[in-house]
Amino acid sequence: MTFPTLSVYAPASVGNIGPGFDTLGMAVTGMGDTLSATLDPSLSKDVIERITGAWTTLPTDPRENTASIALRLILDRAGEGRPFRLVLEKGVPGSGLGSSAASAVGGAYLGNLLVGDIFSPQEILDAALAAEAGVSGGVFLDNISACLFGGVTVSHGESRTSLPAGFLDGVHLVFVIPRQTLRTSESRKILPELVPRHNAIGALSNTAGILLALLRQDPALFCQRVSDPLIEPYRKVLIPGFDALREAALNAGASGFAISGAGSTTVALTHRTEVLPRLIDDLTSVLNKLSIDALVMTSSIDPKGVRRANS
């Protein structure tokens, strides 16, 4: 018996969206993982056939890769014990764009399709979260929920639940993606236990502003509120050229600038298309001046989240 090969696309995502630490997430266009798998009873165990496009070395042992772990979790929950053959095409560059989350969500969603699309979004989220936690040792819902639902999402870590908050057109994103990656564990280690009250209030205010912008469908307000007084002051020292990039982005007409997730990627935001050429040129100039090897990529909010490939 021959089983069909199914393929899914899981988009990159921005955790925190600036001030919404461990709470807000946003799926983005133009970057994402493509996963393809088939059940293969001729195999004695699950197999990752190949991984392409990865910026760092990823495990090919199915017990250590978030994509294959999530896929197997879903298959086991459906009572499907036959081995699978998996191909993972990495399209999430650098660090800070939810690379492991895209693999985990893609694997769980792909597993659900292989068994007949029988699981709820929450069950898919649970499998992806378990896979991510098994590899990273942490529970971080922001990227996983954004990749799963698309648009902007709001997560609650204690209950391990996430909700889609909506989609907003007209937000233009310019990412600076350094070749030098940054591990999430390193980026979290630098954070203090206590922060100044006025910084916490500022972050709450900006987070509320982002959600209000979604409610009002106001891209200008959305971009303006992507500013992080809470975590950024501590993490920016880990990102070469951060202050120079931020200054250049704001001077070029960006309304917001923030670390994407835990870094090292940063993102500039604007609702005005006319400033994009200068924004891209000025950020590139800073990178060249400081001899930082990085990609500059434009993007927008992805409304769909994980889906069948080419759909």
Query: Tens of pLDDT along 30-51?
Result: 999 999 999 999 999 999 999 9
pLDDT above 90 as % of the chain: 86
Give the whole-angstrom CA distance, residue 69 versus residue 128: 8
Beta-bridge mates of residue 154: 24, 163
Give the whole-angstrom CA distance, residue 228 versus residue 274: 25
What contacts 208, CB < 8 A, 6 or more positions away? none
Residues 136 and 186 in one domain: no
Average pLDDT of the chain?
95
Q: Is the peptide bond before 187 cis (omega within 30 degrees of 0)?
A: no
Residue with tokens 């030098």, as numbered in its chain: 180
Residues 268 and 186 in one domain: yes
pLDDT for the residue 135? 82
39-43, 52-56, 177-181, 259-263: segment of lowest average pLDDT:
52-56
CATH of the domain at 120: 3.30.230.10
**Model confidence at 214: pLDDT above 70:** yes
Higher-pLDDT residue of 22, 181: 22
Q: Is 43 helix (H, G, I), strand (E, B) or coil?
A: coil
The amino acid that residue 211 corresponds to is: L
267-277 mean pLDDT: 97
- Inside any domain, residue 1: no
pLDDT band at 1 (very low <50, low <70, confident <90, very high): low
pLDDT for the residue 187? 84
Residue with tokens 């600076």, as numbered in its chain: 176
**Model confidence at 162: pLDDT above 80:** yes
Of the candidates 90, 87, 80, 148, the residue with the CA atom closest to the CA atom of residue 114? 80
- Inside any domain, residue 273: yes
Query: Tens of pLDDT along 99-139?
Result: 999 999 999 999 999 999 999 999 999 999 999 888 876 77
Residues 180 and 149 in one domain: no
In the chain, the number of structural domains is: 2
Range of the domain at 114: 6-166+302-308
R_g of the chain computed on alpha carbons:
19
**Model confidence at 207: pLDDT above 90:** yes
Residues 103 and 65: beta-carbon distance below 8 Å: yes
Give the whole-angstrom CA distance, residue 276 versus residue 171: 11
* 3-state percent breakdown (helix, strand, coil) of the chain, nearest 5: 40, 25, 40
Chain centre to alpha carbon of residue 110: 18
Give the whole-angstrom CA distance, residue 94 versus residue 264: 8
Element housing 22 (H / E) = none
Query: Tens of pLDDT along 64-105?
Result: 999 999 999 999 999 999 999 999 999 999 999 999 999 999
Higher-pLDDT residue of 227, 181: 227
Residues 69 and 179 in one domain: no
Residues 134 and 264 in one domain: no
Residues 104 and 143 in one domain: yes
Residues 149 and 244 in one domain: no
pLDDT band at 158 (very low <50, low <70, confident <90, very high): confident
pLDDT for the residue 311? 62
248-273 mean pLDDT: 97
Residues 138 and 296: beta-carbon distance below 8 Å: no
CB atoms within 10 A of CB 251: 11
Element housing 129 (H / E) = helix 121-136
pLDDT band at 12 (very low <50, low <70, confident <90, very high): very high
